[in-house]
Structure 1
Amino acid sequence: MQPYEEPSSRLATRIIFLVAVIFSLFQIWMAAYHPLSSLVVRSIHVGFLLLLTFLLTAGQRGLWKPLDWGLGVLAFALAMYHWVFEADIIWRAGDPSTTDLVVGVVVIVLVFEAGRRLMGWALPTICGLFLAYALFGEYLPAPLHHRPYGFDQIIDHMFLGTEGIYGIPTYVSATYLFLFILLGSFLEQAGMVKLFTDFAMGTVGHQRGGPAKVSTVSSALMGTINGSGVANVVTTGQFTIPLMKRFGYRPEFAGAVEATASMGGQIMPPVMGAVAFIMAETLGVAYVEVVRAATVPALLYFATILWMVHLEAGKRNLHGLPKEECPNPWMAVRKHFYLLAPLVVLVFLLFTGYTPLFAGTVALGLTVVLILGVSAGKMIGPVGWRVLFWMLLGLAASAFFKYGIGAVFLLIGGLVVVNFFAKGGRDTLSLTVRGLESGARNALGVGVACVLVGTIIGTMTLTGLATTFARVIIEVAGQSLFLSLVLTMITCLILGMGIPTIPNYIITSSLVGPALLDLGVPLIVSHMFVFYFGIMADLTPPVALAAFAASAIAKAPALKIGVQCVRIAIAGFVVPYMAVYNPALLLQGDDWGEMGYMAFKALFAVCLWGAGSVGYLFQPMSWLSRAVATGAAASLVIASPISDSIGIGLGLAVLVWEWLRARAAGAGAKA
C-alpha cells in the first residue's frame, strides 16, 4: 500500500477521523447483529473503503481537492444502491436496467481508481487485462477463446451479484478480516507491541546474534494478532532494525531480517493474514483447518530465519545484548497479562468449532472491556484493578453467553462512563477511539485489493478461464508434478513483484489449483503452496514491498535488502515442495508418527540448506562440505525412502565432520 499524506486542514482531518470511526462502528454492528443482507453489507463496506480512500488521497494526484472529495461522496452514495433497490435488483436478475449498468460502470471505475491510488498501476492493470479478456476473449485463438458475452452481461456479473467485485474476497474483508484488523489495532494501541518486544528481548536478546533473534521472535508474535507483513515492518522495525545495526549487523541484513520475519506473520496462527480467511471460504472448510495446515510451515519458516541469523552471527562473530540490559520477559507478561486474555479466548473459540466471525467479535468485545476495565480499576490501587480484571472477565463471558452481545455493549457503556470521570480514564477513552480509527485505516489497502481482484474472479467464473489455464499448464508440464510446481512458483514470484499477497494468491490459486488437483495434489495443499510463495514474492527483488518498507528505516537500498531477504529465506523454499510430496507436513491425515517424521525431516533439511547457504556451522565450512550439505537437503525434499536415507546419511556425515573439525581447531587453539 502506498503511503499518503495527512491533510493540512484541521477540519479535513476531523472529518476523516469521524468517517473512519463510523466505518469501524458500522462493521462491529454488522458483525454483532447482521441486520442487513450479505450483499448490502458488502456494498456499504466497499462504499466506506472508497470514501476513506478518496478523502485520504485528496489533492495528492494533481487533481482539485474538492473533486476527490466529490468522488468519495459519490462512491459512498452509490454504495446505497443495492440497499435501496435490493428487491428490484432481485426481481430483474439477469436483465439489468440502463440505470443498473450506468451505476455499475461508475462503481467499477471508482474501484480501479482507488486501487491505483493505494497500490500503484500494477494490480489495476492486471485486473483490467482480465476484464478485457471477458470483453474480447472471443477473438483469441484456441484454446484461449471463449463464447461471446455482451457488455450488459459482464457488468451484471461484476456488479449486481456476488461473483464480481462483491465476491468472496469482499465478503471476507467485510466480515472476518475487518474485525481481526480492528482487534490487532486495539491490542497495539493498548501496548501489545511493547509486550512482545520486551518478551523477545528477555528470551533471546542475550544469545548469539540476539538483536536479530529479537526481531524474528517479536515479528512472529506480532503476526499472531495483525497478519500484515508491511505493518509488522513499520511497527517492530522501528526498534529492531536500529538495534541490529548498533550491534554490528549490516544495514541491508538488518532490514532483510525484519522484512523476512514480518512477512511470516501472514502464515502465523491463530489470526494469520487475510488470505487464510479467503482460503477457508474458497475451499469451503472451517478456518481451523487452514490454521492446522499452516502451523508446521509457519514454525519452520521462523525456525529458518532464527537459524540463518544464528549462522550469520557466528560467521561474523556478532554477540547478543548484555544479559543485564535485557528486560525480564515474565515481568513484562505479568505487567500486561490482561492483553493476552483476548488471544487465549480467540484460540479457544476457533479450536472448539465456533466461526471466525463469532470468535473475532467475542475477542474484540473482551479487549475493549479489559482495556476500559483496567483503566477504571487503577483508581482503586494495584490490587484492586487485578481483582476488577477477573470480575470483568467473568462478567463479560457470562453476559455474552447468557444475554448476547447487547449485554457486553451495555457493560462497555458503563465502563465508558466510569472512565470519563476516572483519573487518566479520558486518555484511555481517547486510545479506544484511536483504535477504531486506526483499524479502519489499516483495513484500507487490504479491503480495496479484495474488491479489485473480484473482477478477476468474476472473469474466471464467467469465462471458465481457470480450466483453460490448467489445461495449458498440464500440456506444458506434461504429467510432471515437479515441473508444474516450479511453474506455479515462478508464476507466484512474478505476480508478487507487482501486486500484494491477496490478489497474488487469488489469481494463482484460481488458475493453477485445478491443474495441481488433476496431478493428485489435494486442494488445501496446493492453496498453501501458492500462499507460501505469495509471501516469498513480497521479499523477491526487484519489487519487494516488505524490503521497500524496511529500506527507509534501515537506510539501505531496497534492492540490497531484497537480495538479503531471499538469502535468509532460501532454506524455507524447500518446505512447500516437501508439503506437496507428503501432505503429512501440513498435518493432513491421522498418522501422527508420519507427521512427526515429516516435521523432523523438514527441519533437518532447513538446517542443512542454511548451513550450505551461509557457509558456516560450528566454524566456516569448506566448499565441499557446503555442496554435500546442500545436496543432502535436496535429497530430503524428494519423498522416497531411498532419497530420505541418502539425505539423512549425508547430512549426519556433514554434521559429524564439521563437529570434529571444530573440535580439532579448538584443541589446536588451546595448545
Structure 2
Amino acid sequence: MTTLHSEPTAEAGRSMLRVVFYAAILFSVFQIVTSAFSPISSTVVRALHVGFLLLLTFLLYPLRGGQSGPTHVLTKAVGFIAIGLATYHWVFEADLVQRAGELTDADMAVGVITLVLVFEAARRVMGLALPLICLGFLGYALFGEHLPGPFAHRGYGFDQVIGQLAFGTEGIYGTPTYVSSSYIFLFILFGAFLEQAGMIQLFTDFALGTVGHTKGGPGKVAVVSSGLMGTINGSGVANVVTTGQFTIPLMKRFGYKPAFAGAVEATSSMGGQIMPPVMGAVAFIMAETINVPYVEIAKAAAIPAILYFFTAFWMVHLEAGKQGLKGLPKSECPDPWAALRLRWYLLMPLIGLVYLLFAGFTPMFSGMVGLALTVVLIFGAAFAGRLNGTSLRILFWIVLGLACSAFAKVGIVSVMAVIGLLAVLLVPRKDGRATLRIAVQALVEGAMHALPVGVACALVGVIIGSLTLTGSATTFAGYIIQLGSHSLFLSLVLTMLTCLVLGMGIPTIPNYIITSSIAAPALLELGVPLIVSHMFVFYFGIMADLTPPVALAAFAAAPIAKESGLKIGMRAVQIAAAGFVVPYMAVYAPELMLQGDKGLEATAYVVFKAALAILLWGATVVGYFRSPMSPIERVLAFAAAALLVVAAPITDELGFALAALVIATHLWRARRLAPVTL
C-alpha cells in the first residue's frame, strides 16, 4: 500500500513546490512592475502585496507554525482565498472610495476574514507574541469604553473598527505596508540578487584577507563580513544564518568558546540593521513616518554604526588576547585585492545605489536603479559572451547603454547606466543558463525573505489603526512627558525598558512602530531632536534581539554554535555594551548623530569621548587590556568610561584624568610583568 501511494504523494509534493516557486516569482515580478511603472493605485498595490504574503505563508507554513514544512490542502486553499480577497480591493476600488465609511455586508465579510488571516499568518511565521499584543489593541478599540478612568475611550462600533483596520490607510494597509510594498521589497530583492551573484563570497574573502591573520582573526572576520553583509540586506537574523554558517565554526576551530563565537556573530549581524547605506526595514519606515529623506536617517546612523562595530571588533581583540588566540596562517588567507579584482563588478550597483540616495533621489527610485544595474551586470556577462569579437561586444553595450539612458530620462542615471554597462566588458562571462538560474533563484529568495517582514508590517497596522482611532497614544505619551518634566533620564530608561520588553516577543519592525507611536513623540516634546528620538527607539528595538531571555539573533546562532541561546545572549549583551550607551549619548550630545548646529569640532569631540569610553568598557567587561586587569583597575576603568558618557559639568575632565591614570598605570604594570627575552 505504501508503494501505491508514495508516487502520487511525491508527485503532489513536487506540484506544490512548483506552485510555491511560480507564486514567489509572480510576487517579485509584481513588485518590480508596480514599483517601476505604477500601473495601479497605491491602495491596490498594498492590498495585493498583503494578498501575496498571505498566499505564500499559507502555502509554506503548517498549522502548528514555526519553520516552513508540509501544509494541509485546506491551508493551501486558504492561501488562494486570501489572494482572492485582495483582488476585491482592485475590482471594487471605485465603489469602496465612494462609500468610504459605509461598509456593505460584503465589505464586512472581506474585512473580517482578511484580518483573521493576517493574524493567523503572523502566528505561523512569528509565533503567538505579536498576534496576542495586536489582539489586545484590537480588543481595546472594540471594548475600551468599559475601562475605568483615563484609560476609557468614547466607544466605536464594530463596523467603524473594521473600516479603520481593513479598508483605511491606517490599518493593515497603512504606512508599514506601504513601505514594505515599495522600498523594503526592492532592497530585499536587491540583496538577494547580489547574494546569488556571489557577494557573500566577495565579502568573506575580503574579510579573511584583511583581518584573518591578525590576533583573534576568525572573530574579526565575523565582525567585518557581517558588517559588510549588512550594507546590502539589513537583516540581522538573515546575516546570522548566512555568514554564521562559515564564521562560527571557524571561530570555534581556532579556540573561541561556542557561546562567545555565537555572540560575536549575533552582535555583528544585528548591527547590519543600523549600517548604511542599506539599513534595516525600520529605517525606511522611519523616514516615511517622520517625513524626512532616507539619506538623513542614514547620516544620523553612520557614526553610531561605526562605534557599534568598533565595539564588537575591540571585544573580539581583547578576548583573543585574554585567551591567547592567534589568527589564521597567512598562507590560508585569500588575497583581498585578488577577490576584489575577481568580483569588483558586484560593487557597482551598491556604489550606484549609495550615490543616488545621497544625491537626493527617493529610496524607491534608487532601489530600482540599483536592482536594474545588478540584473544588467548579471545578464550582460552572459549575453556579451555570445557575441564574437570585442568590437561587437562594445557595440552591443553602447547600444544597450544608450537605450537605458533614454529610458532613465535622468542625466546622472544615464551616465551611470552607460558606464556600468560598458564596464561589464571586463566582467567574467558566464553560461546563459547558469545566469538565468541565478536570476530566477534571486526572485524566489527575495519573495521568501520578504515574508516575515511583510507579515509583521501588515499586522502592526492593527496597533496603529487602534491608536489613531482611539487616540490612546497621547495618554501614554502624557505619562512619559510628566515623568520627563522631573527627569529626562527616567523617561529614557522607561522608553528603553518598553522597547526591550516588547522585543522579547516581537521583531524590530513592530517594536519600533509601537514605541515610536507612543514614546518618540513624548521624547520630542521633552526637547530630544526628532531623528534622535526615533533612533533611540530604533536602537533599543535592535538590542532587544540580543537581550535574554528571548534573543532572536542569539537563538538563530545557537544551532550553528551548538550552544544554549541564553548563554549566547548573555555574551552578546557584553559584546554590544556600546549599543546600550550610544543612544543615551546621542540624546545628551546630538552631534553624535550629526544633529544640532555645533559643527564638526563638537562631533569629533563627542566621537573621541565615545571611542575612549568603549575602549575602557571593553577592558572592564573582558578583564584584559595589555595584560589581565586587576579588580581595582576594572572598577576605575568603568568609572572613567561612565564619567565620559555623563553630560554634566566637569565630568569630562574627571573622566579624561581618570582614564589617563588607569591606562598609564596598567601599561606600566603590564610592562613590568612582561617576560624578559634574551
TM-score (norm 2): 0.93
Residues 1:178 and 2:185 are matched in the alignment: yes
Are residues 386 and 330 of structure 1, via their aligned partners in 2, closer, same or farther at CA, if it must alter by over 3 Å?
A: farther
Residue in 2 aligned with 1:23?
27
Alignment of 1:100-111 (within 5 A): 100-111=107-118
Alignment of 1:216-295 (within 5 A): 216-295=223-302
Secondary structure in structure 2 of the residue aligned to 1:152? helix
Residue in 2 aligned with 1:377?
384
Residue in 2 aligned with 1:419?
none
In 2: Cα distance, 1:383 partner to 1:664 partner: 67
What's the offset of the Cα at 1:104? 0.5
What's the offset of the Cα at 1:8? 7.3
Does the 8 Å contact 1:370/1:389 carry over to 2?
A: no
Residue in 1 aligned with 2:200?
193
Residue in 2 aligned with 1:44?
48
Residue in 2 aligned with 1:438?
445
Pick from 638, 641, 655 the counterpart of residue 630 of structure 1. 638
Are residues 18 and 472 of structure 1, via their aligned partners in 2, closer, same or farther at CA, if it must alter by over 3 Å?
A: same
Residue in 2 aligned with 1:95?
102
Residues 1:33 and 2:37 are matched in the alignment: yes
Are residues 389 and 345 of structure 1, via their aligned partners in 2, closer, same or farther at CA, if it must alter by over 3 Å?
A: farther
In 2: Cα distance, 1:386 partner to 1:603 partner: 51
In 2: Cα distance, 1:22 partner to 1:519 partner: 47
Residue in 2 aligned with 1:350?
357
Does the 8 Å contact 1:7/1:13 carry over to 2?
A: no
**Partner amino acid for 1:12?**
M
What's the RMSD between the two structures over aligned residues?
Answer: 2.7
In 2: Cα distance, 1:90 partner to 1:308 partner: 57
Pick from 54, 57, 75 the counterpart of residue 53 of structure 1. 57
In 1: Cα distance, 2:236 partner to 2:459 partner: 20
**Partner amino acid for 2:19?**
I
Describe the superposition over 1:12-35 as per-residue Cα deviations: whole angstroms up to 9, x where unpaired: 001100000000000000011011
What's the offset of the Cα at 1:381? 9.8
**Partner amino acid for 1:291?**
A
Secondary structure in structure 2 of the residue aligned to 1:80? helix
Residue in 2 aligned with 1:462?
469
In 2: Cα distance, 1:498 partner to 1:612 partner: 31
Are residues 423 and 487 of structure 1, via their aligned partners in 2, closer, same or farther at CA, if it must alter by over 3 Å?
A: closer
In 1: Cα distance, 2:280 partner to 2:485 partner: 34
Pick from 534, 540, 543 the counterpart of residue 547 of structure 2. 540
**Partner amino acid for 1:41?**
V
Secondary structure in structure 2 of the residue aligned to 1:542? coil
What's the offset of the Cα at 1:394? 4.8
In 2: Cα distance, 1:512 partner to 1:201 partner: 42
What's the offset of the Cα at 1:662? 1.5
Residue in 2 aligned with 1:555?
562
Alignment of 1:474-623 (within 5 A): 474-476=481-483, 478-590=485-597, 591-623=599-631
Secondary structure in structure 2 of the residue aligned to 1:649? helix
Pick from 121, 132, 139 the counterpart of residue 114 of structure 1. 121
In 1: Cα distance, 2:491 partner to 2:551 partner: 24
In 1: Cα distance, 2:292 partner to 2:558 partner: 38
Does the 8 Å contact 2:276/2:302 carry over to 1?
A: yes
TM-score (norm 1): 0.94
Residues 1:162 and 2:169 are matched in the alignment: yes
Does the 8 Å contact 1:366/1:393 carry over to 2?
A: no
Are residues 403 and 191 of structure 1, via their aligned partners in 2, closer, same or farther at CA, if it must alter by over 3 Å?
A: same
Residue in 1 aligned with 2:5?
none
What's the offset of the Cα at 1:637? 1.4
What's the offset of the Cα at 1:382? 12
Describe the superposition over 1:441-467 as per-residue Cα deviations: whole angstroms up to 9, x where unpaired: 000000000000000011111111211
Does the 8 Å contact 1:369/1:396 carry over to 2?
A: no
In 2: Cα distance, 1:375 partner to 1:229 partner: 33
Describe the superposition over 1:88-113 as per-residue Cα deviations: whole angstroms up to 9, x where unpaired: 11111122222211111100000000
Residue in 1 aligned with 2:91?
84
What's the offset of the Cα at 1:206? 0.6
Describe the superposition over 1:150-186 as per-residue Cα deviations: whole angstroms up to 9, x where unpaired: 1111111111110100010000000000000000000
Does the 8 Å contact 2:20/2:59 carry over to 1?
A: yes
What's the offset of the Cα at 1:663? 1.6
Pick from 191, 213, 218 the counterpart of residue 206 of structure 1. 213
Pick from 653, 658, 663 the counterpart of residue 645 of structure 1. 653
**Partner amino acid for 2:88?**
Y
Secondary structure in structure 2 of the residue aligned to 1:48? helix
Q: Displaced runs of 4+ in structure 1, greater than 4 A?
A: 58-64, 378-397
What's the offset of the Cα at 1:579? 0.3
In 2: Cα distance, 1:324 partner to 1:389 partner: 42
Describe the superposition over 1:589-633 as per-residue Cα deviations: whole angstroms up to 9, x where unpaired: 341111111111111111111111111111110111111111111
What's the offset of the Cα at 1:518? 2.0
**Partner amino acid for 2:55?**
L
In 1: Cα distance, 2:391 partner to 2:607 partner: 46
Does the 8 Å contact 2:266/2:554 carry over to 1?
A: yes
Are residues 182 and 21 of structure 1, via their aligned partners in 2, closer, same or farther at CA, if it must alter by over 3 Å?
A: same
What's the offset of the Cα at 1:640? 3.1
Does the 8 Å contact 2:63/2:124 carry over to 1?
A: no
Does the 8 Å contact 1:28/1:179 carry over to 2?
A: yes
Are residues 425 and 392 of structure 1, via their aligned partners in 2, closer, same or farther at CA, if it must alter by over 3 Å?
A: farther
Describe the superposition over 1:524-569 as per-residue Cα deviations: whole angstroms up to 9, x where unpaired: 1111011111111001111111111111111111111111111111
**Partner amino acid for 2:30?**
F
Residue in 2 aligned with 1:65?
72
Secondary structure in structure 1 of the residue aligned to 2:477? helix
Residue in 2 aligned with 1:661?
669
Secondary structure in structure 2 of the residue aligned to 1:320? coil
What's the offset of the Cα at 1:191? 0.3
In 1: Cα distance, 2:208 partner to 2:256 partner: 17
Residues 1:13 and 2:17 are matched in the alignment: yes
**Partner amino acid for 1:26?**
F
Residues 1:451 and 2:458 are matched in the alignment: yes
Are residues 7 and 115 of structure 1, via their aligned partners in 2, closer, same or farther at CA, if it must alter by over 3 Å?
A: farther
Are residues 395 and 655 of structure 1, via their aligned partners in 2, closer, same or farther at CA, if it must alter by over 3 Å?
A: farther
Are residues 439 and 575 of structure 1, via their aligned partners in 2, closer, same or farther at CA, if it must alter by over 3 Å?
A: same
Residue in 1 aligned with 2:4?
none
Describe the superposition over 1:395-415 as per-residue Cα deviations: whole angstroms up to 9, x where unpaired: 5762443499xx99x99xx99
**Partner amino acid for 1:656?**
A
Does the 8 Å contact 1:177/1:274 carry over to 2?
A: yes
In 1: Cα distance, 2:668 partner to 2:244 partner: 39
Instruction: Indicate the larger mover: 209-218 or 97-106.
Output: 97-106
**Partner amino acid for 2:167?**
L
In 2: Cα distance, 1:478 partner to 1:434 partner: 54
**Partner amino acid for 2:528?**
V
Does the 8 Å contact 1:366/1:396 carry over to 2?
A: no
In 1: Cα distance, 2:254 partner to 2:391 partner: 42
In 2: Cα distance, 1:514 partner to 1:64 partner: 43
Does the 8 Å contact 1:584/1:598 carry over to 2?
A: yes
In 2: Cα distance, 1:221 partner to 1:92 partner: 50
Percentage of matched positions with identical amino acids: 64
In 1: Cα distance, 2:11 partner to 2:75 partner: 13
Does the 8 Å contact 1:201/1:326 carry over to 2?
A: yes
